[in-house]
Structure 1
């Protein structure tokens, strides 16, 4: 038994299955840049960035030095009671990044789930209205408040959130009402003329939460006019508009926030995964009145701790100093073009979509019927792993390959990744993948 296999055996023995989404038999020992290594020092190019967390790559020297120095200076302070300067500096920085001339404040947690729990709690209190609207296919987290807002199959087994109404997301590849024409207006009309007049009166609706790109739902990019029209709808009825940027924020789409591509202002934005560059931290940036609606309503002992906030400050400075958003724009366009080229070679690819380095490749059994090729998607990811590439799949049908590499990725690494995806798809199409091995890993 190899060292990696030994660690995986201990994983099976001691680690809860409730904590696992596994796609292949891998345990990692180290990482640098966009490469991870197992315990035999086999190298894998990672185009998942650990679910879009490692946005500055692995083992960045500036981050390592900053965290070491911060731990020596002040390793911990419970900032809910005694604040340190790191949290205050980060709050000023984040508040300045959110578009809008209104007064803003910042809340902190440790994961995107608790950030969206903050939304679930505070928006109804601030608005003095009980109801919330979210979207089918959305993934806002695993805690009870955030999963109540979610519309993903991963949370479907839990029953909660009686105050949350879910509406269709405007998916251009799979239009929810069957027609592509006027997709934005179809969904807006459904909210205004159906939901508001039946089970979710606007005068009782506190907020609408949406992902600017529905990431775990399948890397779905709505029509360009959707967020502006949704903003107008919220303004007509005095409803807060909240955008979940937990996965696609912090420069991944070519702007700090994905919603900025739409040119709108939002009332609150939730952040998580990539904010700390690998160190757990989440945040909500919002209108002052939302986050000041009461004392001690949603807080954790480690909220905004010095290590996490130092990591976030360092992460933001690295993105700025290394001009990684510019790299996202350049490499994202190149990566997407390469994926479109793959589509001409593989009938299994039904759609390629995304912005910047948040890209999705939807696999289908047939391009006409668009029947999801869920098992083949799992097989492509498994075969890519065997060939030295780490990639995951997402989507309510488990048939979308998600491409969210570190923002530092270069063209050479993209070429290697695309070549491996090409080979993996060819092997799946020819039936040259051991499906018994694939089926051992449940994925989503």
Structure 2
């Protein structure tokens, strides 16, 4: 469905709500647009002034099967009539157990136990605690550009923007390494893209900063999300897995944004044929309700009762939504659709790359795609202000996109997007580039 702007946003009702928001709600959220949502359906969002938007964000990669899917709504409504809060911390109930049984069937062999929480950050916190308890080690390694959440443990791993960390320390003992970025490689002259970063960890970090036998886990996003939708070569995760095995370090894959078939595979790490020790998931796994999960092997997740728990973890409403989403993704062959639509989207992004020098790189896997804007293709200097201008122009024309990294436009639409809707979004984006570049 085409976007339809009847009142330039923000309209009068939106302005009224935003003014009220500014008086009573913490302003710590960095909202990208003055968008005040009233309802949503499938691929479309409506604001309080009657404007209709075409969504390429999926609510930050949450609504993979579309906004307000009728089967999810029906399942949640039905569950609400019998049990909303099951107090899973103290009592057992069937819905979370059924969901966990279903979820582990999507996992690589050996990942067969689930811990429930309420968000991505909480799923990472659980992984931190599990890794420390299992290894009796205290240090961690993560990557520049990585985003793992904003609670204190997760924030210790995060290294995306200084505003996320400013004045919140001291943090957990985390050492950050460069992420393997083919567009901005650690060693531009090296043909071994994929192992330079792993060599850096092995030869520099383990030599100068921390002994490997003190490192509990390495946390990695198989495809970086907030850092710029950076797609590393498949060798990167494989070499990282080998490094971890060599030193008895746990490998934790943060699949919070990339998981649930967004890249075509249920987990993004599957593209590298790597099996992590711990998997963190959230966002799309809850179908729009708060749900985080931390998964590991039965052997690893052996912490005793009382080691870790959450009042709302395993909430019945969230778990029935998650179970319904898993069934939908399986029935609708969501992975195959994400692959097909992703190829179609990438073809369109490559055409924009050929047309506009402002685009330095077009990349992605499945429906986790991006374009990186640069002032000059040789220097690759980030074109942040022009990126922001394009996002603003697209929003004013009724297409919702989100930024990532320094100057990246990310594309993470619901997996139900059609080729026609991709064409509409790309056409609007083409007009935005023409305006900003004056071409």
Distance 2:250 2:319 in 1: 27
Aligned to 1:155: 164
> Does the 8 Å CA contact 1:276/1:312 hold for their aligned counterparts?
yes
In the alignment, structure 1 residue 14 sits paired with structure 2 residue 24: yes
Aligned to 1:436: none
In the alignment, structure 1 residue 138 sits paired with structure 2 residue 146: yes
Tell me, what secondary structure is at the counterpart of 1:21?
A: coil
Aligned to 2:275: 265
Q: Deviations over 1:136-187 (max 9, x none)?
A: 1100001001001112114241323342111110111111234352122211
Distance 2:18 2:436 in 1: 26
In the alignment, structure 1 residue 39 sits paired with structure 2 residue 48: yes
* TM-score of the superposed pair, with normalisation by structure 1: 0.94
Q: Deviations over 1:269-302 (max 9, x none)?
A: 0001110111110001112243322332332210
Aligned to 1:294: 304
Distance 2:307 2:285 in 1: 23
Aligned to 1:167: 177
Distance 2:185 2:169 in 1: 27
In the alignment, structure 1 residue 211 sits paired with structure 2 residue 215: no
Distance 1:155 1:288 in 2: 34
Q: CA deviation at 1:103?
A: 6.3
Aligned to 2:125: 117
Aligned to 1:307: 317
> Does the 8 Å CA contact 2:103/2:326 hold for their aligned counterparts?
no
Q: CA deviation at 1:196?
A: 1.3
Tell me, what secondary structure is at the counterpart of 1:297?
A: coil
Aligned to 1:61: 70
Distance 1:9 1:162 in 2: 38
Tell me, what secondary structure is at the counterpart of 2:195?
A: helix
In the alignment, structure 1 residue 412 sits paired with structure 2 residue 427: no
Aligned to 1:362: 372
- The farther-off stretch of 29-38 and 293-302 is 293-302
1:189-338 aligned within 5 A: 189-338=199-348
Q: What RMSD, in angstroms, separates the aligned Cα atoms of the two structures?
A: 1.4
Q: Deviations over 1:293-326 (max 9, x none)?
A: 2332332210111101101000111111122222
Distance 2:365 2:55 in 1: 19
> Does the 8 Å CA contact 2:153/2:172 hold for their aligned counterparts?
no
Unaligned runs of 5+ in 1: 432-444
Q: Which runs of 4+ in 1 moved over 4 A?
A: none
Aligned to 1:430: 438
Q: CA deviation at 1:50?
A: 0.8
- The farther-off stretch of 3-12 and 154-163 is 154-163
Tell me, what secondary structure is at the counterpart of 2:207?
A: coil
* Count of paired positions: 427
Q: CA deviation at 1:368?
A: 0.7
Among 108, 115, 121, the alignment partner of 2:116 is 108
Tell me, what secondary structure is at the counterpart of 1:129?
A: coil
Q: CA deviation at 1:13?
A: 2.0
Q: Deviations over 1:384-403 (max 9, x none)?
A: 000110001011x2x10010
Tell me, what secondary structure is at the counterpart of 2:114?
A: strand
Unaligned runs of 5+ in 2: 1-10
